[in-house]
Amino acid sequence: MNEVWIFHAEQAQLASGVFSTREQAEAWIRRHGLTGLLTSYPLDEGLYDWAVTHSPFRPKRSEHTTPTFIGRFTSAYRPHEHYRDGRPV
């Protein structure tokens, strides 16, 4: 396994589920009729570092290398899906 699937519910500050497969995550989302975002995250690598290595993102400004920026970083280049009431939108 080189990735996990993390669900972040709408208006939540923290993730509410972590799954080893997308299928398990989607079944849980459907079962509970959840609204939010399901995203694939690499294991053993921060998303910022992954993006610098595997996507077109390159830090261009000094703030792109600050702890705050790196800690809040997210990338649309990772597989992801939006859900409303348990269904993909």
Tell how far CA 81 is from the center of its chain. 9
67: amino acid identity, one letter: P
Question: Percentage of the chain surpassing pLDDT 90?
Answer: 98
**How far apart are alpha carbons 87 and 61 in whole angstroms?**
38
68 membership: H or E segment, kind and range = helix 67-72
What's the average model confidence in pLDDT over 43-71? 96
Core vs surface per residue 28-67: b (16+ CB within 10 A) or e = bbeeeebbbbbbebbeeeebbebbbeeeebeeeeeeeeee
Range of the domain at 15: 3-88
Count the domains in the chain. Answer: 1
pTM of the model: 0.88
